[in-house]
Chain A
């Protein structure tokens, strides 16, 4: 397939198999994986968590966990098989031949050392610090797009924002001009606009230096946009690989098709929506169920010695949610969207402004009225691993709200729990299990069942699907949509992901720095956004211009 006149592949993985030894016996994390990276080319590996995409890349840089080993196949770097290479050889390769940008910018910089020191460390380890290491460090940081590198290099990681830390990590990864850069989900923890800036910059830098990039991501839209070649992995195997655009437009393997159908970034561009017709009819007739007017929340930030600073997290926000519809509140981190959710749930008191639910101002409820209000409004939280009590069986978890509100007896509650499990399409046998035995998506479905137990009228979803893999995310969104149609639920949907909004919401409120920037129906926002901020958010959705 490679003609003689063409250069040799930089990285070639042939029939790779990686096995982990676990207490329950060996686990084949990767089987029969094949991929080639040509010099200067960007190759993306796409897959959901547990598909073996990171494991494959880590094997190429010799950083597999101690219980994992390459059990078959070859990893050829520049023609040399490094699948069984010694630690010493890897130390030589790392840094100046193969660089790495890790996933989590929050935990991958050492908090006790200055940024400059950490860059210098890399340069020194590869003998590239030269006579004037300071200048070299500043140059490397400037290349990565950090403004004022001379000042920045004397700062500690906690003084950097997430995006800046990721830039520092990219600076470290590229400091020694490696020929191959492995970027493991380099931007998945960042806001979309920051993600776009960083990836743009990474693109420019690697094309200037002629660095090949092995990009690992869960987002097919992003992969197709940033790479020449896309490799789709599923359960440890490569199921499809090919030119990025070709693969996106003409997927062959059913799993790839499934991914393309579910990826919110792509779905948003196609304009996939939930069944609007029903909701619109309802919306026209009904009164607003929730009315938020001039809602403001000011936090006191302690500065020590009794001094306080005021921080306005939510600034005079007003919106209405018609009964039976979904309103999404969208914004990047720090925009105050979750604070609104907490105030609507009455877990946090508003500084000023009103929240009126069904004609009742909830700031002034008595204990008893509040108890009744709790029955009508229920939350679903973000972290599927944190939202269920690990000590409670699934049965006890779903039964708890019924018990708190004294509904029914033992037998009727058990029947109800079974019904609820059925509603969220989980088998009834699940009720004897415990949260630690379920996957993230399954836990989120249990959390939905718990929220539904009291037959609420409104559900507040605080980033309810953000932590889930795309396919599972699509499944949960579909479930929420179905439940809305069956039970006439009203949703307040808090999310940072504008792409998801199109799949679920009827109305959208866009927030920035605590203020409402824009609101309107989904179509208005997506097709005719008025504010620059919203347009930026929209255009930052990866894969925006590919379909």
Chain B
């Protein structure tokens, strides 16, 4: 029998009341449910039916049912196909311009008409896809690699490394991306070697701090998880536990931001090209086409609308994809049980 019932009165202690339970003044029937109504299950039995699903597989399963994802994914596949094999989508040579067709409307084989120079607007928009998409994809890639690495190191190791890297990021963060890019693109080294790659490098310089911040936050959250502690107790070194456990668990928000930003970088490229600072004029791109259509806005507004439409649809589909991915990877919905 317990000691505190009989011999130990526990007098003088702050919480010493002996609790004997309560007895109701009402008659309370003792009800027992028939056993066959709620059969007793084994304690905590493992569910063996159903296919095992990893977190990514589960995200994919919920993703592929979303209309937002289906529409954006189809559009993105189309855009990628256009960029990869533009010849299939337009048989007309975009560089063949004849001034006799200057500013003419649509005609057979030329569904979007001609621009001021007499070039086919549709063909130029199709062939301009590649440059825009390349800028978007490669800038995203560099930004994720650079920003992700810096953010992960800063978040995981903390201390002075974090302070230095975070301040460095803040300096770049304080400059608006397009303004900063305008200045950098005017530096002699960039001005004289204008190409797709200079645009990519410039945008990456100003794009990485955002990804670094997000990675840092996600890594900070993941590095304190018990499974990281457990892996250290198993003998994994700090660096390895960062690569094997922390980074994979910090990827979800980075992927979401990267997808949305891909569209933003395409817009930034178009902005720079529109200002005459982005891609060289020889490179066909939507930004350049919009820029050259600007002077003819009153005479032939459609000349500006078509490349702008291509641009908007592409950017919109990347932003929609980002939203769909965010919903699927939402950590709250996958905590489970």
Contact = CB atoms under 8 A, between A and B. Distances in A.
6 closest cross-chain pairs (CB), A and B: A242-B30, A228-B24, A374-B235, A387-B226, A386-B226, A381-B226
Contact of A441 (B35, B44, B232): B44
Please indicate which of the listed interface residues A6, A240, A258, A389 has the most CB atoms of chain B within 10 Å of its own CB: A389
Nearest to B12: A532
Contact of A237 (B38, B41, B52): B38
A405 interface: yes
Given A200-B17, A545-B20, A400 B33 contact: no
A475 B53 contact: no
Interface in B40-93: 40-41, 43-44, 46-48, 52-55, 58
B230 interface: yes
A427 B42 CA distance: 14
Interface footprint category on B: 35 or more
B2 A545 contact: yes
A244 B3 contact: no
A246 B41 CA distance: 25
Contacts of B23: 228, 243, 245
A547 interface: yes
Interface string B106-134: 00000000000000000000000000000
A437 B47 contact: yes
Please indicate which of the listed interface residues A196, A385, A539 has the most CB atoms of chain B within 10 Å of its own CB: A539
A381 B229 contact: yes
Contacts of B301: none
A197 interface: yes
Contact of A527 (B3, B5, B19, B52): B3
Interface of A: 1-2, 6, 32, 34, 38, 41-42, 193, 196-197, 200, 224-229, 234-235, 237-248, 252-255, 258, 269, 271, 345, 347, 371, 374-375, 377-379, 381-383, 385-391, 393, 400-401, 404-405, 426-427, 429-430, 432-434, 436-442, 447, 450, 454, 471-472, 475, 526-528, 532, 535-536, 538-540, 544-547
A467 B49 CA distance: 26
A41 B25 CA distance: 9
B52 A544 contact: no
B8 interface: yes
Contact of A471 (B38, B43, B225, B232): B43
Contacts of A450: 230, 234
Nearest to A50: B337
Interface in B1-38: 2-5, 8, 10, 13-24, 26-33, 35, 37-38
B227 A387 contact: yes
Nearest to A383: B226
6 contacts: A34-B31, A237-B38, A374-B234, A400-B231, A441-B43, A536-B13
Contact of B48 (A1, A401, A429): A429
Nearest to A346: B233
Given A237-B38, A242-B30, A379 B233 contact: yes
Given A269-B2, A472-B44, A241 B31 contact: yes
A429 B15 CA distance: 50
A30 to B, nearest CB: 12
Please indicate which of the listed interface residues A32, A253, A371 has the most CB atoms of chain B within 10 Å of its own CB: A253
A32 to B, nearest CB: 8
Nearest to A42: B22
A92 to B, nearest CB: 28
Given A532-B13, A546-B21, A238 B5 contact: no
Contacts of B3: 526-528
A197 B15 contact: yes
Please indicate which of the listed interface residues A225, A377, A404 has the most CB atoms of chain B within 10 Å of its own CB: A404
Nearest to A430: B46
A374 B33 contact: no
A371 B337 contact: no
A240 B33 contact: yes
B194 interface: no
A347 B4 contact: no
Contacts of B44: 439, 441-442, 471-472, 475
Given A6-B26, A387-B226, A245 B21 contact: yes
B249 interface: yes
A535 B32 contact: no
A405 B22 CA distance: 58
A193 B235 contact: no
A390 B236 contact: no
B14 to A, nearest CB: 7
Contacts of A538: 4
A404 B27 CA distance: 64
A255 B41 CA distance: 9
Contacts of A440: 337
A408 B213 CA distance: 41
A343 to B, nearest CB: 12
B248 interface: yes
Contacts of B230: 379, 381, 387, 447, 450
B4 A539 contact: yes
Given A389-B227, A539-B16, A225 B21 contact: yes
B31 A378 contact: no
A248 B20 CA distance: 13
Given A239-B33, A535-B13, A545-B5, A41 B234 contact: no
Contacts of B26: 2, 6, 38, 41, 228
A229 B15 CA distance: 24
A247 B24 CA distance: 13
A381 B334 CA distance: 21
A434 B55 contact: yes
A42 B35 CA distance: 27
A244 B21 contact: yes
Contacts of A197: 15
A425 B22 CA distance: 41
